[in-house]
A = this chain, B = another copy of it.
């Protein structure tokens, strides 16, 4: 071995070399929700070059005094005024030319929320902020900045997997929901149809019944259930 990994000498030597001076660390946010029976992601339209008029994920640079997760939480607060939301680190993207101007390492975080919690329109200033269907982005129908299309593809893949072996679906609902609606969201995320009878067998043990019913449609009402202890 030709080096002493982790030694103080190496740390400081490296830091003093020009090549290590221009790297920045950012967190990009994948704020995902369900809108009109589609998985959508929050994006902002760029008003400057490069990728002018393309859509990009919101993100912030990581400050010296905050952790990666704190940066992500701060980004959520600043961009969409969102707090106490499900958040998990997704992946770290660090290709050399992912940003043509300077080297940016992007630690991405995935946030899941019910649609009604989003009020990004309130804080919006200059640039457009929109919920765009993930399918359209991956399909190439929407001009996307940097490597954000790849990031979104990865998030979708991760979500598709996790929905099958975790309780992640429930993060798309804040309070009550009916089983048919829960199943619909599940099917969107898992990208497959399931039989309602099997779906019920799987999820009924996890949720608690309420006395309420959904009578909004002209048909037999469906019962409301709850997953989260509070609200």
* Prevailing SS type, chain A contact patch: loop
The yes or no answer to A95 lying at the interface (CB within 8 A) is yes
Contact B19 A64 (CB under 8 A): yes
**Closest CB-CB distance, A188 to chain B, in whole Å?**
23
Indicate whether A5 sits within 8 Å of B66 (C-beta atoms), given known contacts A11-B101, A20-B24: no
Contacts of A146 in B (CB 8 A): 6
The yes or no answer to A49 lying at the interface (CB within 8 A) is yes
Contact B22 A25 (CB under 8 A): no
Indicate whether A22 sits within 8 Å of B62 (C-beta atoms), given known contacts A5-B79, A8-B49: no
Contact B24 A14 (CB under 8 A): yes
Size of the chain A interface, CB-CB below 8 angstroms: 66
Other-chain residue from B1, B56, B64 in contact with A129 (beta carbon distance below 8 A): B1
Interface residues of A (CB under 8 A from B): 1-12, 14-15, 19-25, 44, 46-50, 56-68, 75, 78-79, 89, 91-96, 99, 101-105, 107, 120, 123-127, 129, 145-146
Bound Cα distance A46, B8 (Å): 9
Per assembly, the copies of the chain total 2
**Closest CB-CB distance, A126 to chain B, in whole Å?**
6
Contacts of A9 in B (CB 8 A): 48
Other-chain residue from B3, B64, B126 in contact with A20 (beta carbon distance below 8 A): B64
Indicate whether A44 sits within 8 Å of B6 (C-beta atoms), given known contacts A62-B23, A105-B25, A120-B1: yes
Contacts of A11 in B (CB 8 A): 24, 99, 101-102, 104
